[in-house]
Amino acid sequence: MARHSLQHDGVELSYYETGSGPPLVLLHGFPLDHTMWRAQIEALSGVCHVIAPDLRGFGQSTLAAGDAEQGVDMRRYAVDVMAVLDDLGVSEPAILCGFSMGGYVLWQAVREFPDRVRAIVLCDTKATADSDEMRAARLSGAEEVLLSGAGPMAESMLPKLLAPATLANRPDVVDEVDAMIRRTAPEAIAAAGRGMARRHDVRASLPGIRVPALIVVGAEDAISPPEEMREIAGALPKAEFVEVPAAGHLSPVENPTAVSDALRRFVAGLGEEPAR
Ligand code: MLT
């Protein structure tokens, strides 16, 4: 796996790539980084050109001046992702796979850059905007993380990200996710929290998204539960739905084999239809 970086719009964007085949872009969630896709990067590299960026501010990517204070809209992350594809010279439409916040970024990429999207994978994500209560919590969370660091955020988010059985019985997974959150820059968390608070409900646009779609959700996802993701699948014209057992919100980490298998099957099925 090779790491690359590029300068774009005032930031350094870091991304990893490996494998060959149709381009597959893995978009991580909040407040995580590309390493949440470790298992899928390895499992898909035999059949895809896998590209795993760190969104601006996360992992090894940087923020621009003012991003933490003003927030980063989901559209700006999507523009950054297109800059990564440009940097690699990828001009054919890519398979975009977004986990949770990565899914919010994916909706914007599909809307703004439809010609660059061959198929989509929505993993444990939402199509709705925040409730007023959630928005207020995000904005106060952004203030707090800048004062107290990422530690309290790790403590409050772990029980929501992971299924109860994962929390109780799999200290290796708990420690990995805890460390991922704690090493995230507080400014990146504030920037993304403020950006997510401003995002719009995209449900009305779903029937117009005509590319093949795979919807993946952990059976015990408490943030974007299976019922909600079934509605997304029902509204998309060409969607498959996969519920992943023994997983909460973080299904790619909690049940990596099931998520990788679902992705592999979906990619193989695309081979049977011509790229647009
Ligand atoms: C994520 O996993 O990316 C977050 O749970 C998204 C969110 O806070 O809405």
Provide the pLDDT confidence category of residue 95 given band limits of 50, 70 and 90. very high
Q: Which residues contact 8 (CB under 8 A, 6 or more apart)?
A: 80, 83, 87
Note the pLDDT of residue 164. Answer: 98
Q: Which residues of 231-243 are buried (b: 16+ CB within 10 A; e: fewer)?
A: ebbebbeebbbbb
pLDDT digits 0-9 by tens, 186-211: 999 999 999 999 999 999 999 999 99
Atom of ligand 1 nearest to the CA of 124: 2
User: How buried is residue 273: exposed, middle or buried, by Cβ count under 10 Å (0-12/13-18/19+)?
Assistant: exposed
Give me ligand 1 centre to Cα 100, in Å: 5
pLDDT digits 0-9 by tens, 114-130: 999 999 999 999 999 99
Give me ligand 1 centre to Cα 273, in Å: 32
Give me ligand 1 centre to Cα 272, in Å: 33
Give me ligand 1 centre to Cα 16, in Å: 22
Taking CA atoms, 126 is separated from 199, 206, 230, in Å, by: 11, 12, 11
Give me ligand 1 centre to Cα 29, in Å: 6
Q: Indicate the top mutation candidate among 34, 36, 100, 135 to test ligand 1's pocket, ranked by most ligand atoms within 8 A of CB.
A: 100
pLDDT digits 0-9 by tens, 11-25: 999 999 999 999 999
Q: Which residues contact 239 (CB under 8 A, 6 or more apart)?
A: 212, 213, 214, 215, 232, 233
CA distance 190 to 72: 9
Atom of ligand 1 nearest to the CA of 103: 3
CA distance 105 to 110: 9
Q: Is the separation of the CB atoms in 240 and 233 below 8 Å?
A: yes
Nearest CA to ligand 1 atom 4: 30
Note the pLDDT of residue 271. Answer: 82
Nearest CA to ligand 1 atom 9: 101
Ligand 1 neighbours by CB, cut-off 6 Å = 29-30, 100-101, 196, 223
- What percent of the chain is predicted at pLDDT more than 70? 98
Give me ligand 1 centre to Cα 275, in Å: 31
Let me know how long the chain is: 276
- Tell me how far apart the 2 most distant CA atoms of the chain are, in Å: 52
Q: Which residue in 193, 171, 182 sits closest to 68, CA to CA?
A: 193
Distance of CA 215 to the CA centre of its chain: 13
Atom of ligand 1 nearest to the CA of 126: 9
Atom of ligand 1 nearest to the CA of 29: 3
Atom of ligand 1 nearest to the CA of 99: 3
- pTM for this predicted structure: 0.98
Nearest CA to ligand 1 atom 7: 101
Q: Which residues contact 232 (CB under 8 A, 6 or more apart)?
A: 122, 125, 127, 203, 206, 215, 239
Mean pLDDT of the 47-66 span: 98
